[in-house]
Copies of this chain bind each other. A is one copy, B any other.
């Protein structure tokens, strides 16, 4: 029987799928919108299936082949038990389904299937470590209660600063003017109305503006970036104190944030060996093999 391996990496900004055959040949990839479980299970399932369909299509396979697929889905929010069990209860179309966190597949990918530690800083922020067969996660508390080193919090802090300049309680800045331009708002009331119901990815879209102005030494932008770097450094030291075999910092803002980390931490960062979605395929393959070995 032909078998395929599907890896899915689902985050707050988008969902990636990767389909390989039994020999490890890449057959197709797919991209869809966010699948963070916190923002709704039906939407997450839809994004996962959209990305999967795109990968199948690129592989010139029909949806009837879904039943030959061993899938591993690593998705944001699966660290919350109630969300993970909802996804696990899914009447999915695959041969087998393994649900884990986006952090877990990123960790496995970063170290090419071996052990190590990782920090992901993209829309959100979290860290994880696998050591002697144990696996543990830290952070990932969301934009309101944590995520201090995330792109969303960088952007949110820029919005807060801009609102204070629009109120007139702090002097205006290049950063504040850039935020007004980017969001198309000229008053505090307009900015609050535009931003009040937005998900983290809306604020994360402002992170590049913050880094841009930090490079140009805008004082507030630098302060915001340094705050995020201190938060990230605390989590990096926590993980490194456990002496992992390897350590990587990955995610949408990792490359921009790294130069602001203390030098000793920068030196201990190793590049990721594979992407998170490749990590998901590795896990799908590994589970199938252990299952086959136990037959």
Residue with the highest number of chain B CB atoms closer than 10 Å, among A145, A148, A192, A238: A145
Given B145, B188, B196, which contacts A160 in the complex, CB threshold below 8 Å?
A: B145
Residues on B with C-beta less than 8 A from A146 are: 160, 163-164, 192
Decide: B192 and A80 in contact? CB cutoff 8 A.
yes
Residues on B with C-beta less than 8 A from A192 are: 80, 141-142, 145-146
Q: How far is B142's CA from A38's CA once the two chains are assembled, in angstroms? A: 21
A195, CB-defined interface residue at 8 Å: yes
User: Beta-carbon contacts of A220-255 to B below 8 Å, as 1s and 0s?
Assistant: 000000000000001101100000000000000000
Secondary structure type dominating chain A contacts: helix
Q: How far is B138's CA from A146's CA once the two chains are assembled, in angstroms? A: 27
A59, CB-defined interface residue at 8 Å: no
Q: How far is the CB of A153 from chain B (nearest CB, A)?
A: 11
Residue of B nearest to A170 (CB): B234
Q: How far is the CB of A186 from chain B (nearest CB, A)?
A: 15
Residue with the highest number of chain B CB atoms closer than 10 Å, among A141, A148, A170, A235: A141
A89, CB-defined interface residue at 8 Å: no
User: Beta-carbon contacts of A130-157 to B below 8 Å, as 1s and 0s?
Assistant: 0000000011011111101000000010
Residues on B with C-beta less than 8 A from A292 are: none
Given A146-B160, A160-B145, A163-B141, A168-B238 contact (CB < 8 Å): yes
Q: How far is the CB of A164 from chain B (nearest CB, A)?
A: 7
How many copies of this chain does one complex carry? 2
Decide: A145 and B169 in contact? CB cutoff 8 A.
no
Q: How far is B196's CA from A256's CA once the two chains are assembled, in angstroms? A: 29
Residues on B with C-beta less than 8 A from A195 are: 145
Given B141, B159, B170, B237, which contacts A145 in the complex, CB threshold below 8 Å?
A: B159
A79, CB-defined interface residue at 8 Å: yes
Q: Which of A113-144 contact B (CB under 8 A)?
A: 138-139, 141-144
A189, CB-defined interface residue at 8 Å: yes
A167, CB-defined interface residue at 8 Å: yes
Q: How far is B136's CA from A168's CA once the two chains are assembled, in angstroms? A: 12
Q: How far is B171's CA from A234's CA once the two chains are assembled, in angstroms? A: 11
Residue of B nearest to A169 (CB): B234
Given B80, B138, B159, B168, which contacts A168 in the complex, CB threshold below 8 Å?
A: B138
Residues on B with C-beta less than 8 A from A38 are: 196
Decide: A196 and B238 in contact? CB cutoff 8 A.
no
Given A138-B169, A234-B169, A163-B188 contact (CB < 8 Å): no
- Give the top 4 A-B pairs by smallest Cβ distance, nearest first: A169-B234, A138-B167, A169-B238, A141-B192
